[in-house]
Amino acid sequence: MYPPLPNPTVTPSAPKLSDKNLVRRSASSVPAAEPMTQVAKLIDVSKCIGCKACQTACLEWNNLREEVGVNTGTYDNPHDLTTATWTLMRFTEWVNPQTQNLEWLIRKDGCMHCADPGCLKACPSPGAIVQYSNGIVDFVKENCIGCGYCVKGCPFNIPRISKTEGKAYKCTLCSDRVAVGQGPACAKACPTQAIVFGPKEDMKKHADERIKDLQSRGFKNAGLYDPPGVGGTHVMYVLHHADQPQLYANLPKDPTISPIVEIWKGMTKYAGLAVMGAVAAVGLLHHIVAGPNRVSPEDEEAAKRLAERGQ
């Protein structure tokens, strides 16, 4: 068992997460960040009992209210992530073809806090998305313009845009709690330690133990989900079927930032300005070299003769 984070002291302490810790800031640059220990949330899917305490804790800590929905025949409630539901239990019923066992695969969905965040890369508004040196990717509401570019950049389909506020929302990894030495609210609430939080290296070690345990129980393909295509993530899963992550409500097997987004936010951005600048420069140069194209008095005379002749 990984030791749970201790309760906070009652004496107030200064937050340890500030602009000095920014490694990336959307549509702008930042000076070298003060380094911090890389943190991670480890979600052990095999330990999850689907109680949704994490969902409730998330709503409670972040003061969110979800609308009352309808039942469509699954346990997913609500049916998708929303601007109020930053984490969601997704339930999948799967018959294992090897054992003929019905397996209930429950995955806590939410922001993965990618080391190479597609949302941040796509964001056009300076400082609306930031990445801290401890790995947390956070949205800064006052800088968000609600354009939805982050939705296009995200390989996991996580951000949601509020219809009423026109702002993007997602899991913050409880950056406000982590800033004062606490763990995320969901990890705090989890009754089975399916969610644990700590330094990323510790989380990997803890995951190793869990994977060995699962493998000894017959889950040969048990493994860690820390996809390298996005530089690794600061939310990781222990999966009993790590060879088939898509079983878990379509968790992508090899997520990467879409090449379309890479082209849009890479080459196009620079080539576009260059092309427009070049066209304008050619025009200016042409005017300097060729001079204006003026109507001559002879042209006016010819027009006059034509108009008088009437043909």
Binding site for other proteins (CB under 8 A): 27-28, 124-126, 143, 145-149, 151-152, 157, 161, 163, 166, 258, 260-261, 263-264, 268-269, 271-273, 275-276, 279-280, 283, 286-287, 290-297, 299-304, 306-311
Q: Which is nearer to other proteins, 107 or 167 (CB)?
A: 167
* CA gyration radius, the chain: 27
CB of residue 72 vs other proteins: minimum separation in angstroms? 17
CB of residue 196 vs other proteins: minimum separation in angstroms? 31
256 neighbors 103 (Cβ within 8 angstroms): no
DSSP letter for 182, please: P
Q: Which is nearer to other proteins, 75 or 264 (CB)?
A: 264
CB of residue 307 vs other proteins: minimum separation in angstroms? 4
Residue given tokens 């803890």 in the structure block:
206
Distance CA(261)–CA(122), nearest Å, equals: 7
Q: Among the residues of 33-174, which ranges form H helices?
A: 53-61, 118-122, 149-153
CB of residue 85 vs other proteins: minimum separation in angstroms? 17
Pairing of strands 39-44, 235-239: parallel
CB of residue 20 vs other proteins: minimum separation in angstroms? 21
Q: Which is nearer to other proteins, 28 or 38 (CB)?
A: 28
Count CB neighbours of 272 within 10 A. Answer: 11
Is residue 239 classed exposed, middle or buried when 0-12, 13-18 and 19+ CB atoms within 10 A define those classes?
Answer: buried
Q: Which is nearer to other proteins, 148 or 199 (CB)?
A: 148
CB of residue 269 vs other proteins: minimum separation in angstroms? 5
Q: What is the CA angle 250-253-256, rounded to 5? A: 110
Q: Which is nearer to other proteins, 28 or 215 (CB)?
A: 28
Give me 5's structure tokens: 């984070």
Q: Which is nearer to other proteins, 49 or 282 (CB)?
A: 282
- For the CA atoms of 148, 154, 157, 158, what is the dihedral angle to 10 degrees? -80
CB of residue 75 vs other proteins: minimum separation in angstroms? 24
Q: Which is nearer to other proteins, 168 or 222 (CB)?
A: 168
Which of 181, 175, 225, 170 shows the shortest CA–CA distance to 203? 225
